[in-house]
Amino acid sequence: MQAQALEADARAVLAFEAVEPIDDPVLALAELAAEVRATVRALGQRVNSLEDVRYPSPLGTEQVRAELDLLGQYQDRLGRMLTALGRLGLDERRVQLSEAQAAVLVGVVDRLLVFLALPRDEEAAARDELARIFRSLDAGEVAA
C-alpha cells in the first residue's frame, strides 16, 4: 500500500516537472549503474555495522533485517545493469570515440605544422616534442 502511495506521489510531482528527453541512453544507464553501485556500497556499510542481521518479530518468528534484503536486491539490480552495459559494447564505443578524437587531434597538429611551414629539422623536432608531451600527459604528468 505504501509503495502505491509513493508511486502516485511521484507521478504527481512529474506531472508538474519539465521532463527532459534522454539524449544518450547508454550514458544514462551508465550513470544510473554508478548510482546503484553507490547505493550498494552504502547498504553494505549499513549491513556491516549491524550487530545482528536477524531479529525476533512480535509473533516470535525470526526476521531478516530490511537492510540485508535491500542489499541483495540492489546487488542483483547492479548485476543486471552491468550485464546490459556489457552487451551494449560500451568499452568498444569508448575505444572508437578515443580513436576518433585522436584522429582529429593528429589532423589538427598536421595542419598546424603545415601552416607554420617549419624547416624539416624544426618540424621533426616539433613532432618529437609533441610526442613527448602526449606521453607525459598519458602517464599523468603535468606538462611544463
Tell whether 132 and 108 lie within a shared domain.
yes
Q: Domain for residue 7, yes or no?
A: no
* Domain region containing 77: 23-88
Q: Domain for residue 4, yes or no?
A: no
Per the CB < 8 A criterion, the answer to whether 70 and 43 are in contact is yes
Closest CA to 36 of 81, 5, 2: 81
Tell whether 83 and 99 lie within a shared domain.
no
Here the cell at position 108 is 589538427
The total domain count for the chain is: 2
Q: What are phi and psi of 139, to 5 degrees?
A: -80, 0
Tell whether 103 and 84 lie within a shared domain.
no
In this predicted structure, what is the pLDDT of residue 33? 96
Tell whether 32 and 77 lie within a shared domain.
yes
Q: Domain for residue 81, yes or no?
A: yes
Query: CA-CA distances (angstroms) from residue 98 to 14, 93, 104?
Result: 37, 9, 10
Give the residue ranges of the chain where pLDDT is below 70. 1, 18, 142-144
Q: How many whole angstroms separate alpha carbon 123 and alpha carbon 116?
A: 9
Q: Domain for residue 62, yes or no?
A: yes
In this predicted structure, what is the pLDDT of residue 143? 52
In this predicted structure, what is the pLDDT of residue 52? 87
Tell whether 106 and 134 lie within a shared domain.
yes
Q: Domain for residue 131, yes or no?
A: yes
Q: Domain for residue 10, yes or no?
A: no
Q: Report pTM.
A: 0.51
DSSP conformational letter for 52: -
Tell whether 83 and 108 lie within a shared domain.
no
Tell whether 59 and 108 lie within a shared domain.
no
